[in-house]
Amino acid sequence: MRDPQVLRSLHQARFGAHFGAEPAIFAAPGRVNLIGEHTDYAEGFVMPAAIDFATLAGVSPRADGKVVIYSENYKEERVFEAAALPKTKTGHWSDYPLGVLSVLAGEGLAIPAFSLSIWSDVPLGSGLSSSAAIEVSTALAVLSLIGASYPGPVLARLCQRAENEFVGASSGIMDQFISANGKKDHALLLDCRDLSYKLAPIPADVALVIANTMVKHAVTGGEYTSRRAQVEEAAAVIARHRPEVKFLRDATLDDLERWGGEMSPEALKRARHVISENLRTVAAAEALERGDREELGRLMAEAHWSYSRDFEASCVEADAMVELAQDLPGLIGARLTGGGFGGCTVNLVDAAHAAEFAARLGERYQARFAIRPEIYLCHASEGARKLD
Ligand code: ADP
Ligand code: MG
């Protein structure tokens, strides 16, 4: 089903049925973060992989001066004047594509009239970054109409700005970066300080099994903001003693030993997570490089419990999803991925065991919570591109 040619012709047919025109089609993947949580805005390291769930954006020019945006997922259409696009959000899903248009217009590009049809099999709002996928696919589609293009890292920054400045979600750069720059069969160790990156191979016999807890406890997003403020508080305390520390990226566990007493207890714990997570993320890339599965699993477990106990961004369901996976055949490592408080866990699993692993994990979780989890068998996939 996820053969790009099949996806392309299905979306072409949907586009034709809705708009009666022939589209150019662009795909941008969702992502799973293997390790490195809440490190991006501390200018640290993350290691996501693009997955083979994607958002497709079909686009064709219009002659009536309108921008018409349709979501196949919501079966809903919005119509705007290309010459008078909204400058602020309305809280509707169309904020995501409109945010991209707003940022591109701010770069001096003239937005033409067009029809845009969005379809996605990235589960929406589950922590696999359907938001970055809709932004990046929309950006590629619109840029192609204009005849403009940007290098992947620049495209990612523009889409991040759409989400930060227009939609109003204070996310880091990771989601858009991996959606724009992912590589098939690889994870990407990204240095969020300067956006330099290294690819780390994911062997063909390792599957990414993503288990959706189907719960999301922090609907307001207020927790993200408070965690971020605590991380910044900790960095500011260390900077009083070591002015060269601008972000927790620059701090060490030794700094915490010495000056942690000057922070709020929350800031100290959050900082311990972020500083140790940076070390684990770099170590995990090296473990992937060496094919050291045992070390990778150990680092993922440590990362999960640091995220749960020090960052306090897990929940009963996510902790259970990780625990229930531990003794299943084929598990290499498991942890909660994404912003926290629910969403998905990522499990690296020996591919030969992946299907059975998924089935048994699902049964166990359902027996515990009476919730049927969605479990996705994924592979690391290519970043955003045109589907020819
Ligand atoms: P995540 O990025 O983890 O999936 P977010 O809350 O950041 O969760 O983004 C999800 C939101 O993005 C949806 O609620 C919707 O507003 C928008 N979105 C994503 N994909 C689509 C789509 N295919 N059609 C319409 N809106 C979408
Ligand atoms: Mg998102």
Distance 99 CA to ligand 2 centre (A): 14
Q: Does ligand 1 have an atom closer than 6 angstroms to the CB of 73?
A: yes
- What is the C-alpha to C-alpha distance for residues 253 and 210, in angstroms, rounded to an integer? 31
Tokens of 303: 């990362």
- Cβ of 104 below 6 Å from ligand 1: no
Phi, psi of 187 (to 5 degrees): -95, 165
pLDDT given for residue 126 in this prediction: 84
- Give catalytic status of residue 175 as yes or no: yes
**Angstrom distance (rounded) from CA 311 to CA 134:** 29
What's the length of the chain? Answer: 388
Tell me how far apart the alpha carbons of residues 358 and 378 are, in angstroms, rounded to a whole number: 11
Residue 171: CB within 6 Å of ligand 1?
Answer: no
Could you report the per-residue pLDDT of 251-263, keeping only the tens digit for each?
Answer: 999 999 999 999 9
User: Do residues 338 and 314 lie in contact, with contact meaning Cβ atoms separated by under 8 Å?
Assistant: no
170 band by pLDDT with thresholds 50, 70 and 90:
confident
Model confidence at 31, in pLDDT bands (50, 70, 90)? very high
Decide if pLDDT at 143 tops 70. yes
pLDDT of 354 > 60? The answer is yes
pLDDT of 220 higher than 80: no
Residue holding tokens 């500011």? 236
Give the model's pLDDT for residue 1: 45
Question: Are 128 and 48 contacting, i.e. CB atoms less than 8 angstroms apart?
Answer: no
Q: For 287-311, what is the mean pLDDT?
A: 98
pLDDT number for residue 339 = 85
DSSP of 76-144 = EEEEEEGGG--SS--SSTTHHHHHHHHHHHHTTPPP--EEEEEEE-SPTTSSS-HHHHHHHHHHHHHHH
CA–centroid distance, residue 149 to ligand 1 (Å) = 24
CB 348 within 8 A of CB 47: no
CA dihedral 121, 126, 129, 131 (to 10 degrees): 80
What is the CATH T-level fold of the domain 4-200, as seen in this structure? Ribosomal Protein S5; domain 2 (3.30.230)
Q: Is the CB of 125 under 6 A from ligand 1?
A: yes
Least confident range from 3-7, 236-240, 318-322, 343-347: namely 3-7
Nearest residue to 136 via CA among 386, 388, 363? 386
> What is the Cα 262 distance to its own chain's centre?
34
Closest ligand to residue 344's CA: 1
Instruction: Identify which ligand lies nearest to the alpha carbon of 51.
Output: 1
Band (124; pLDDT cuts 50, 70, 90): very high
Q: Note the pTM of the prediction, 2 decimals.
A: 0.94
What's the rounded Cα separation, in Å, for the pair 106 and 110?
Answer: 9
Residues by chain with Cβ below 5 Å of ion ligand 2: 129, 131
111 near 87, Cβ under 8 Å? Answer: no
DSSP state of 20: S
Secondary structure of 242-267 in the HEC alphabet? CCCCCCHHHCCHHHHHHHHHHCCHHH
Q: Which residue in 175, 250, 310, 319 is the catalytic one?
A: 175
C-beta 195 within 6 A of ligand 1:
no
CB of residue 339 inside a 6 A radius of ligand 1: no
User: Is there a contact between 128 and 172 (Cβ–Cβ < 8 Å)?
Assistant: no
Range with lowest mean pLDDT among 205-219, 262-276, 283-297, 361-375 = 205-219
Answer whether residue 172 shows pLDDT above 90: no
Residue closest to 158 by CA, chosen among 181, 131, 136, 191? 136
- Cα distances from 29 to residues 67, 70, 151, 239, 327, in angstroms, run 24, 19, 17, 38, 31
Distance 76 CA to ligand 1 centre (A): 14
Averaged pLDDT for residues 314-333: 98
Residue 344 has pLDDT above 80, yes or no: yes
Mean pLDDT of 98-115: 98
Asked if residue 218 has pLDDT above 90, the reply is: no
Are the beta carbons of 384 and 136 closer than 8 angstroms? yes
Could you tell me the two tokens for 281?
């993320």
**DSSP strand pairing (114-120 vs 66-71):** parallel
**What is the distance in A from the centroid of ligand 1 to the CA of 41?**
21
Arithmetic mean of pLDDT, 41-66:
97
Q: Is any atom of ligand 1 closer than 6 Å to the C-beta of 59?
A: no
Q: What is the mean pLDDT of residues 28-52?
A: 96
Percent of the chain with pLDDT over 90: 93
Residue 221's pLDDT is what? 64
pLDDT at 219 over 70: no
**In the chain, % of residues over pLDDT 70:** 99
Q: How far is the CA of 355 from the centre of ligand 2 (A)?
A: 27
The DSSP letter of residue 380 is: B
Beta bridge partners of 257: none
Give the residue, out of 134, 167, 173, with the most ligand 1 atoms within 8 A of its beta carbon, to mutate for a pocket test. Answer: 134
Q: DSSP secondary structure string, 165-214? A: III-----SHHHHHHHH--TTEEEEEETTTTEEEEEE--TTEEEEEEEEE
Q: Which atom belonging to ligand 1 lies closest to the Cα atom of 129?
A: 2
Domain locations in the chain as residue ranges: 4-200
Rounded average pLDDT over 257-270: 98
Q: How far apart are the C-alpha atoms of 226 and 173, rounded to whole Å?
A: 19
How much is the average pLDDT of 71-96?
Answer: 97
Integer Cα distance of 375 and 378 in angstroms: 10
CA of 288 to the centre of ligand 1 (A): 31
Q: What's the rounded mean pLDDT across residues 230-244? A: 97
* Residue 124 CB–ligand 1 contact under 6 Å: yes
Nearest CA to ligand 1 atom 7: 131
Average pLDDT over residues 87-102: 97
Burial of 300 (0-12, 13-18, 19+ CB in 10 A): buried
Which atom number of ligand 1 is nearest to the Cα of residue 119? 23
Q: Is 130 in the pocket of ligand 1 (CB under 6 A)?
A: yes
